[in-house]
Amino acid sequence: MRLTLFSRKRRPLARRICGAGRCYRWSGSIREWPESKKIAQRLDTDFKKSVFDAALKSFEQVDNPLRVNNLATGLRELTRLILRDMAPDKDIEASC
């Protein structure tokens, strides 16, 4: 999936998402995307939800040049938390 951002002379940010041979245009917040809502519903702790929300909030800061980097870092941390809960270190060490 490819995400392209468009912005011209202080107009609201519009997004185009392309993947699987289709392109969709989205002008709302990333938090309103159906995929974002599905992910947020599946998070089981308040901390995971706050990490996910902070990552999305950072991405929406159009004037922040590191917003994509911050989004990726937040999602990486969220993935680490989910994997840690699914497979605790003790279980992994015991299987070796």
How confident is the model over 68-96, as pLDDT tens digits? Answer: 999 999 999 999 999 999 998 888 888 88
13 close to 6: Cβ distance less than 8 angstroms: yes
Task: In whole angstroms, give the CA distance from residue 62 to residue 86.
Answer: 34
C-alpha angle 7/39/45, rounded to 5°? 125
78 close to 51: Cβ distance less than 8 angstroms: yes
pLDDT digits (tens, 9 = 90+) for 6-59: 444 444 455 566 666 666 665 568 888 888 999 999 999 999 999 999 999 999
Domain ranges of the chain: 29-95
pTM exceeding the 0.85 threshold for the entire prediction: no
Q: Is the dihedral of CA 87, 89, 94, 95 positive or negative?
A: positive
How many other C-beta atoms lie within 10 A of the C-beta of residue 11? 9
- Token pair, residue 89, equals 């270190």
